[in-house]
Amino acid sequence: AKNDMPVIDPLRIVAKEMKFLTGNIRKLLGSGHPSLDRAAKYYTQAEGKHVRPLIVLLMSRATSQCPKAPQRQQATFQASSAIDTSISPLSVLSDFNPSATTEKDVEASGDTDILPSQRRLAEITELIHTASLLHDDVIDHSVARRGSPSANLEFGNKMAVLAGDFLLGRASVALARLRHAEVIELLATVIANLVEGEFMQLKNTARDEKNPRWSEETLSYYLQKTYLKTASLISKSCRAAALLGGADAQTVESAYIYGKNLGLAFQLVDDLLDYTRSEQELGKPAGADLELGLATAPLLFAWKTMPELGALVGRKFEQDGDVARARDLVMQSDGIEQTRALAEDYVAQAIHALRDFPDSDAKEGLIEMAVKTLKRNK
């Protein structure tokens, strides 16, 4: 509608930096092996939403005006070492070649308050996210992603898994080159967290039971899983952005809390859209979670007042009619509304975390990102 057009377009605030994102990512993913090159770059073709890099760049800019920490011992980030992607019989397939230096490696002009290292961080977050999608689509037997055949469908499971591993490898090299031990530790932890979250999801509930009963633990297990699976990357990369900018401890913590709450809200909305939107709208199959045996927030809220859902959760909606039955019950309940309300709560907390940041376009952009999380429909 005309009236609620956002005044601030978050993308415009960091448009210059975002312009180089995909190109730089593709450079980080170059391989001399043509089919690896193709598989690794496959998910960079269809334009993703680039939510994570956008948040990292906005956070970088928003924290540039915040108080600084006492100077840390600075080992300088080498923005400019290119990657050797050639295959000669003697060279290791995908070594970085530190001597092949170009100044264009982290492109975009230097006249902004966003550091080259923060731009690189934005690229690294997208790499890690994309790696997790490659693996996720294998695990979920997904056939479509961003409106195109999924990588596992296009290349097969083996190549999709290996492509994901390759992305993590290249992300790790880029990360190491930031020469910032705390940031390396944060993003390495994210990779572990993604796997932990996925493991928790495979299990659905804390204990394996035939007929689990709803308890407060049901929700906290789900939220912990959601943090690991989604919010960890966003929150820790926000933290890393602030650290790279040299922000003080309080700012670093606020950046983290913003990212954590935004990440939780983001996934809650994702889980809600799986119930409310069509495949066409999502660019991927709708109602997929129940089919995968997953009990997400809308169902967990429904379960609280509909104990009969326990048996279905226990058998992962595997019996004939389970998925439809669960879906009906969720739709009769206020599970969707409660999920939305919880997401709204997290969004409010995310915005609150920014209260001490000085006013800036970037801060407004971060707020708008949070608000948009609730409005999005894909």
Q: Are 193 and 92 in contact (CB under 8 A)?
A: no
Residue 36 CB, shortest distance to ligand FPP, in Å, is 16
Alpha-carbon dihedral 153, 157, 160, 163, rounded to 10 degrees: -160
Nearer to ligand FPP, 63 or 373 (CB): 373
Q: How far apart are CA 343 and CA 258, in angstroms?
A: 13
Q: Which residue has the tokens 């979670």?
A: 289
Q: Are 279 and 286 in contact (CB under 8 A)?
A: yes
Near ligand FPP by CB under 6 A, which window of 7-15, 71-79, 189-197, 248-256?
Answer: 189-197
Near ligand FPP by CB under 6 A, which window of 86-94, 139-147, 212-220, 316-324?
Answer: 139-147
Q: Which residue has the tokens 């980030």?
A: 77
Residue 37 CB, shortest distance to ligand FPP, in Å, is 19
Near Mg ion by CB under 5 A, which window of 26-34, 106-114, 120-128, 134-142?
Answer: 134-142
Residue 281 CB, shortest distance to ligand FPP, in Å, is 13
Q: Report residue 98 as tokens.
A: 């530190």
Q: How far apart are CA 166 and CA 158, in angstroms?
A: 12
Q: Report residue 211 as tokens.
A: 């007929």
Which residues are registered as beta bridge partners of 132?
none
Under the binding rule (CB under 5 A), the answer on residue 368 touching Mg ion is: no
Under the binding rule (CB under 6 A), the answer on residue 329 touching ligand FPP is: no
Under the binding rule (CB under 6 A), the answer on residue 369 touching ligand FPP is: no
Under the binding rule (CB under 5 A), the answer on residue 270 touching Mg ion is: no
Q: Where are the alpha helices (DSSP H) in 115-156?
A: 116-139, 151-155
Under the binding rule (CB under 6 A), the answer on residue 200 touching ligand FPP is: no
Under the binding rule (CB under 6 A), the answer on residue 311 touching ligand FPP is: no
* 203 to 232: interface string for ligand FPP, x by CB under 6 A: --------------------------xx--
Q: Report residue 87 as tokens.
A: 């295959």
Given 15, 195, 311, 348, the residue binding ligand FPP (CB under 6 A): 195
Which residues are registered as beta bridge partners of 68?
247
Q: Are 255 and 59 in contact (CB under 8 A)?
A: yes
Under the binding rule (CB under 6 A), the answer on residue 131 touching ligand FPP is: yes
| Contact residues: ligand FPP, CB under 6 A | 128, 131-132, 135-136, 139-140, 142, 164, 168, 191, 194-195, 198, 229-230, 284
